[in-house]
Amino acid sequence: MDIILASASPRRKQLLGEIVKDFLVLPSNADENVVCDNPEQMVKQLSFIKAKDVFNSHSDCLVIGADTIVVFDGKILGKPKDEKQAWDMLAGLSGKVHKVMTGVTVMTKDVTITFADISHVTFKKLDDKDISDYIATGSPFDKAGGYGIQDSGFVCDIQGSFNNVVGLPVERLADVLAQFLEG
């Protein structure tokens, strides 16, 4: 059975490649406007929507959809739209703990499994130069919360999966995929 990653994220592609030898990448074009007050439920819904969108035209495959959000003070921090929003996000996270949630859906014609993985991340105290230098790299604009754990140097502690914070909790996903790929 062919495996499809329904994501355009190069980080997810790299992470999935650590546990799956051969797979295709077909990003979802689904409408991601989900209204939900519960961040964990929302991220699970988003992963399902992405997987279902690709599955609809590839129903003979195993499709993996994923979505990652940052939650701080009860608010969901998506990808910043501009430098000011990136600045506000990073300054707000400075010296504090936030949650990173990744929803994952694995879908075949017979079974669908959706789960969320949650990591607690602590930022070091950032000064204005740390923030402005990072924004100047352009890196914040394609990442939830405006940062990448792999390239920012802002994280001083993590409780949970590092890979979840990057964008795909491969440890847990490997266990789920084993249920589909056995036999």
Domains and CATH numbers, the chain: 3-181 (3.90.950.10)
53 in active site = no
Exactly one of 31, 53, 60, 67 is catalytic; which is it?
Answer: 67
pLDDT in tens, the chain (183 residues): 899 999 999 999 999 999 999 999 999 998 888 888 899 999 999 999 999 999 999 999 999 999 999 999 989 998 899 999 999 999 999 999 999 999 999 999 999 999 999 999 999 999 999 999 999 999 999 898 999 998 899 999 999 999 999 999 999 999 999 998 775
Cβ–Cβ under 8 Å, residues 65 and 54: yes
Q: What is the pTM of this model?
A: 0.92
CA distances for 45 relative to 15, 18, 95, 102, 174, angstroms: 21, 25, 30, 11, 20
